[in-house]
Amino acid sequence: MLTLLVITSALAGTIDAWSYDDFTTDGDGIAGTDDWDNGYDEDPWLGAESGRDVWAYSATDHTSGGNFGDGSALDNWLVNPAVAVSQGAYSVTSYASDNDAFGVVFAWSEDAYWMLLVCGEEGNETSIQSCPVGGLTLHALALVEVRGRNATVLDEVERGCDPSTEVLISIGMDDGLLVARYGRTELTIEVDRDFQLDGIGFYAYNEGTIDEEGVDDGDTIYFREPALVWNDEDDDGVADDDDNCEEDANPGQEDLDHDGIGTACDLSEETPDTGDTGTDSGTDSGTDSGDTGDGEDQRPVKIDTGDGCGCESGGGAAGALAVVVGMLAVGRRRRG
């Protein structure tokens, strides 16, 4: 299975759509900068440098007896509209030094959004841990839809966070198949084919460097280098979102009959008129000159032109997302 995924990933290309690595470190907070916005003003999101990396992090531990959508600590998200992506992937690197609840936000709008939520610390059965969504286990990885004041668990598995470890989180989407991954753990569900990933960001609940007693314990959740890519399955430089032939390379997007399906993959497209009237004068004399005697064969010669490909697959921004994109392609073909 792994070999198949690697091969498929090499074939399925991506195109960079959006990325961010410039989180402010001046203490004023990230919200209000470069279209970033947060849902809980009492817990700012700040930036911190570590070597060459700049991380966004939640500043304060807060719990709440309120509901989603009322501006309480349950709404402690930081989001950016980014750019529109339907078939593609969102990725971000996380580092958890606290053990309550965090995750990534995607498909965010004023009325609803989705989260891949991580609650609790893997292997920790003793410390008190909190989760903003009722019904989840002590250690849970869950796909959650928040709509208004209600949070619905769409899928879950018993698995907490990996503490003090950099973990890649990714959300991939292709033709109605959504794959969400925290490290090597994966949740896969089917969604509407026009589902969009954009409106991406981070989430934290009771995660912050300042605890509820006002003590700076330094424990929180950190995120760096959020990025979006478009799928480009045929590696022709046109994103699948806009490609009129997703599986057949056609960088020029030719569509001779203007039906929205590219010429490269339109089986019903008529062959262009060659001008042949289809008539026969019927004046054949019935004579045959026969062999000219010069020893030359007058039959046409078939020339083998080879496969004529000359194409080269491109990686784009697929370094962190190649496995997700490949997995989506495999899943889609199985469903087909």
Of the candidates 91, 282, 280, the residue with the CA atom closest to the CA atom of residue 197: 91
> Which one of 3.40.50.450, 2.60.120.560, 3.10.580.10, 1.10.1060.10 gives the CATH number of domain 19-230?
2.60.120.560
Find all residues with CB under 8 Å of 210, minimum gap 6, and list them: 59, 60, 61, 216, 217
**pLDDT band at residue 331 using 50, 70 and 90 as cut-offs:** low
The set of long-range contacts for 329-334, using a CB threshold of 8 Å and a minimum separation of 24, is 329/8, 329/11, 329/12, 329/174, 329/233, 330/4, 330/5, 330/8, 331/174, 331/177, 331/179, 331/188, 332/174, 332/175, 332/177
> Which tens digit of pLDDT belongs to each residue from 183-201?
999 999 999 989 999 999 9
pTM of the model: 0.77
Kindly tell me the sign of the dihedral angle through the C-alpha atoms of 72, 75, 79, 84: negative
> Which tens digit of pLDDT belongs to each residue from 49-70?
999 999 999 999 998 878 999 9
pLDDT at 34 over 50: yes
> Which tens digit of pLDDT belongs to each residue from 278-321?
555 444 444 444 444 444 433 332 223 233 333 333 333 344 45
Contact assessment for residue 55 and residue 92, using Cβ atoms and an 8 Å cutoff: no
Of the candidates 40, 91, 93, 81, the residue with the CA atom closest to the CA atom of residue 64: 40
Report the alpha-carbon distance of residue 264 to residue 325 in Å, rounded.
Answer: 23
> Which tens digit of pLDDT belongs to each residue from 143-171?
999 999 999 999 999 999 999 999 999 99
pLDDT at 211 over 70: yes
**H or E element that contains 327:** helix 322-335
End-to-end CA distance of the chain: 18
The half-sphere exposure of 8 on its side-chain side, counting CA atoms within 13 A, is 20
Contact assessment for residue 133 and residue 153, using Cβ atoms and an 8 Å cutoff: yes
**pLDDT band at residue 212 using 50, 70 and 90 as cut-offs:** confident
